[in-house]
Amino acid sequence: MSNTPLALIGYRGTGKTTVAQYLAGRLSCDWVDADVEVELRAGKSIAAIFADSGEQVFRDLESEVVAELCQRKNTVLALGGGAILRETNREAIARCSSVVWLRASAEVIASRVLGDPTTAGRRPNLTNRGGQHEIEQLLLKREPIYRACATLEVDTEHKDPAEIADEIVAAIQATS
């Protein structure tokens, strides 16, 4: 593991938090979920931050967290799905040793998000419609940004988190 962190990016439901835990185990380092860090600092869920203060306040807090986390050493970062939206965040993320984009189709993401009992209480809809339509809309906007930020792309469909972590470790070792 490099002195700079390894960052996992991608839409919610692509496995960033779970894969971060597996990767940290394989790389013998720490891991942190940026969304959890934001919630801890705010003292409330992301959904509550959105409801009480709006997306701008959430994004400001997220930017502070991303800037700090990207300075850590020997850490796997699971970044929020929208962390790549701000240029300042992209600049901080670019300083990571590897930036891995975890990908999945809108259908698979929708199925995973629906199956996650914590999502409804912790994560707000980002468009009026929500659901798969929202995912498709946001992926259209975000995929070019994810691609531009990533040093490695990994498809997470039909793979368990351990397989994904192994694939990432093998790719990193092959390039170092």
- Please state the domain extents for the chain: 6-175
- Mean pLDDT over 152-156 rounds to 96
Report pTM: 0.91
CATH code that applies to domain 6-175: 3.40.50.300
The pLDDT, as a whole number, for residue 130 is 66
Please provide the DSSP assignment of 107-151 as one string: HHHHHHHHH-TTHHHH---SSSS-HHHHHHHHHHHHHHHHHHH-S
Name 103's bridge partners. Answer: 155
Contacts of 11 by beta carbon, 8 Å cutoff, 6+ apart:
81, 104, 109, 135, 138, 139, 142, 146
CA angle centred on 82, ends 102 and 103, rounded to 5°: 15
Q: pLDDT digit string (tens) for 39-73?
A: 999 999 998 999 999 999 999 999 999 999 999 99
What 3-state DSSP class applies to 28? Answer: coil
